[in-house]
Amino acid sequence: MAVEIVYRSSRDPEQLFMDKAEADRHDKMLELAEALGEVLLKAVPSLSEQQAEEASLFMARRRDIFAKAFKNNADALAALDEEASQKS
């Protein structure tokens, strides 16, 4: 019988990881998404909680692209267009 070590996300218990660092990154992404969701709901009261959650997860998963865009590199957002066109 083999023993396997797995890591569980504290914020997403259904999600299992083989690497602790990967589980930590996932938790931090979810923390960022939660904070973004709260800000979006306050800034745009007409958003539903579901819409705020979807938008905040989208942004948190792509934080590197948004970080570049917020540092006066709006062209970085083109990567999001490419991603969307690949899904279509």
pLDDT digits (tens, 9 = 90+) for 9-59: 888 888 889 999 999 999 999 999 999 999 999 999 999 999 999 999 999
Q: Give, in order, the Cα–Cα distances in Å from 46 to each of 3, 40, 49, 59.
A: 50, 10, 9, 19
19, 7 Cβ separation under 8 angstroms: yes
C-alpha dihedral sign at 52, 57, 59, 60: positive
d(C-alpha 36, C-alpha 39), whole Å: 5
* Average pLDDT score over residue span 64-72: 93
The predicted structure's pLDDT at residue 88: 64
- Select from 3.30.930.10, 1.10.10.710, 1.20.1530.20, 1.10.10.10 the CATH code of 7-87: 1.10.10.710
Give residue 65's pLDDT.
94
Q: Return the pLDDT at 67.
A: 94
Give this prediction's pTM.
0.81
Q: How many CB atoms neighbour CB 27 within 10 A? A: 18
